[in-house]
Amino acid sequence: MAIVEALQSNGARRLSIKNPLSGEAIDDIAVTSKEDVDAAVRRARAAQPGWAALGVAERKRIVHRALDVLMARQEEVIATVRAETGKTRVDALSIEIISSCDFINYWCGRAVKDLSDEKPGLHGFLKPLKKLRIVYEPLGVVGVITPWNGPFVLSTDPTVQALLAGNAVILKPSEVTPRSGEWAARILWEAGVPKDVLQVLHGDGETGAALVQAGVDKIAFTGSVRTGKKIAASCAEQLLPFTLELGGKDPMIVCADANLERAANGAVFLSMFNTGQVCLGVERVYVVERVADEFLRLVEEKVRAMRVGSGDDKEIGSVFWDRQLDIIERHVDDAVARGARLVVGGNRTGEGLCYAPTLLTDVTHDMAVMREETFGPVLCVMVVPDEEAAIAAANDSEYGLSASVFTTDEEKAIRIARRLRAGSVMQNDAAVIYGIPEAPFGGLKSSGMGQVHGGSRALRGFCHAKPIVLDRWKQDKEEIWYPLTERTTKSLEKTIEFAFGKVLRRLMQ
Ligand code: NAD
């Protein structure tokens, strides 16, 4: 069953979208052509100055209303997301709705403070000479391109930030989940954001690529490494700023002193929620030998007990896309062929694209399931002699999105975290980092470029921070301006001696 299929059409290319649980066609979209992408950017550019001119307080007032709209219409959003993805109600509520409510509320709460002019004091050497003001100007038109695994929240989060910062936004949601992504715009339109200030362009990679080339001022991309590299190349050619939030292969280390019940619960949930289709999901578990038997016993028991399918009593839903299911099956088959032990699952089950929660042990780094992003309900556990071996194995990956350490010793968690080549590290948890907007978020190695979130840095990331250097003394000329005299040289020599000599240099810092 292909979830996204080309439809016969005389005019624009059309794609039909199916429900991954029932296999029924639920919608179709017209793929936006390059000409229409260009026209959308022109409309956005014309509308953006008016939006920026409202000022941050008024923009915040409008954008914040989207929270009321979302609260009122959450059931419709959930229904759309579930129809397009087959995810459970709990996954829709926690990943899509709660996170989106929190992001809208949080970014609105700090918009005025973060986007107001700053007047940082200058350091000792310059203090007597100049004054500085920094103003945060919108970039212009921001292209937001998003994936299908968290289609509503991953569209809402950057869109809200870019709008608050005074930009116009063109959102290109995934072709697998077009209407879920569109809801991010619908709640903002209903809140009062003008239609040309926020536009949604449907389509596949062709539309996304056209948007990157259409003369926007920044690209905020979330998706695969493969597409991320193409976007980076295209942006580099145009000297266009971009952020890439890409895939992961996140490791989890279980130390001998870990609370094993929590570690086992965590390993199962954090590898399987959202049907395992989470960039920050746990994809590799390294457990130290001393506690491995007990950990594996607990994990096996928990994986066996999991309920899969479409009902509200189910704990994991469908895989969202047939292409992803192909990858999951390829990884599991390859692992078994190379000697992994399939303890639980490893097969399709029930309706549509459902795949049984799967536990693999005796895995090695020769297997695709330990090297490539699997993005499915597959838990891989490797027993290692000690923590040193766990750290080395965790770092042995082309990815570096995030990582977790299960230990009851906070100091040890910090020690190990410092040695992990990952964008972020969590003690006794994983994935939660994306829900902490105060924390800078972004991957190392192939997992991304640039960071998003990070408190005051976030909205400013959608701005140009323009320093305005102001005059302090209203003199006819500065000391080093022409005409140069003997006094100029003397004055410079004296300044060096006075300011940076041993006595005063600390005051000049
Ligand atoms: P994808 O790269 O296939 O598609 C993402 C988006 O890019 C879609 O909207 C798609 O239509 C568009 N696109 C495709 N080709 C393009 C091109 N050449 N130019 C511009 N746009 C193009 O990714 P996906 O399969 O939709 O998403 C899954 C991936 O996203 C996984 O690797 C997952 O780890 C990653 N992801 C990362 C994060 C993060 O924050 N790091 C979050 C969620 C998902």
In a domain, 4, yes or no: no
The answer to whether the CB of 245 is under 6 A from ligand 1 is: yes
The identity of residue 359, as a single letter, is: L
- 428 phi and psi, to 5 degrees? 55, 30
User: For residue 179, what are its two tokens?
Assistant: 């209407």
The answer to whether the CB of 154 is under 6 A from ligand 1 is: yes
Q: Do residue 93 and residue 236 come from a single domain?
A: yes
In a domain, 8, yes or no: no
Q: Do residue 336 and residue 263 come from a single domain?
A: yes
Q: Let me know: does 404 contact 433? Beta carbons within 8 Å.
A: no
Task: Give the residue, out of 15, 85, 207, 222, with the most ligand 1 atoms within 8 A of its beta carbon, to mutate for a pocket test.
Answer: 222
In a domain, 133, yes or no: yes
Number of domains in the chain: 3
pLDDT at 63: 99
The answer to whether the CB of 246 is under 6 A from ligand 1 is: yes
Q: Let me know: does 254 contact 295? Beta carbons within 8 Å.
A: yes
Beta-carbon count within 10 A of 173 CB:
30
Q: Do residue 204 and residue 317 come from a single domain?
A: no
* Residue 27 CB contacts under 8 Å (≥ 6 apart), including other chains: 16, 17, 84, 178, 179
Alpha carbons 397 and 380: distance in angstroms, whole number: 15
Q: Do residue 198 and residue 256 come from a single domain?
A: no
In a domain, 17, yes or no: no
The DSSP code for 96 is I
pLDDT at 367: 98
Q: Do residue 227 and residue 256 come from a single domain?
A: no
Q: For residue 334, give the CATH number of its domain.
A: 3.40.309.10
Q: Do residue 242 and residue 254 come from a single domain?
A: no
pLDDT at 8: 82
Residue 325 sits at the vertex; the CA angle it makes with 221 and 227, to the nearest 5 degrees, is 20
Residue 58 sits at the vertex; the CA angle it makes with 54 and 62, to the nearest 5 degrees, is 115
Task: Give the pLDDT means over successive 10-residue stretches in the chain (509 positions).
Answer: 89 94 96 98 98 98 99 98 98 98 98 98 93 98 98 98 99 98 99 99 98 98 98 98 98 98 98 98 98 98 97 95 98 98 97 97 98 98 98 98 98 98 98 98 98 98 98 92 95 94 92
Q: Do residue 420 and residue 295 come from a single domain?
A: yes
pLDDT at 152: 99
Q: Do residue 391 and residue 503 come from a single domain?
A: no
pLDDT at 83: 98
The answer to whether the CB of 407 is under 6 A from ligand 1 is: no
pLDDT at 422: 98
Q: For residue 120, give the CATH number of its domain.
A: 3.40.605.10
Closest ligand 1 atom, CA of 447? 41
Of 110, 150, 241, 166, whose CA–CA distance to 435 is shortest? 150
pLDDT at 336: 98
Q: Do residue 287 and residue 356 come from a single domain?
A: yes
In a domain, 165, yes or no: yes
In a domain, 11, yes or no: no
Please name the residue ranges forming H helices in 340-483: 368-371, 387-395, 410-419, 456-460
In a domain, 474, yes or no: no
Q: Let me know: does 316 contact 282? Beta carbons within 8 Å.
A: no
Of 146, 147, 133, 169, whose CA–CA distance to 59 is shortest? 169
Q: Do residue 288 and residue 434 come from a single domain?
A: yes
The answer to whether the CB of 318 is under 6 A from ligand 1 is: no
Q: Do residue 377 and residue 399 come from a single domain?
A: yes
Q: Do residue 218 and residue 260 come from a single domain?
A: no
Residue matched to tokens 């639980």: 344
Domain range enclosing 390: 250-446
Residue 172 sits at the vertex; the CA angle it makes with 275 and 246, to the nearest 5 degrees, is 50
The DSSP code for 316 is B
Task: Give the residue, out of 279, 280, 322, 401, with the most ligand 1 atoms within 8 A of its beta carbon, to mutate for a pocket test.
Answer: 279
In a domain, 459, yes or no: yes
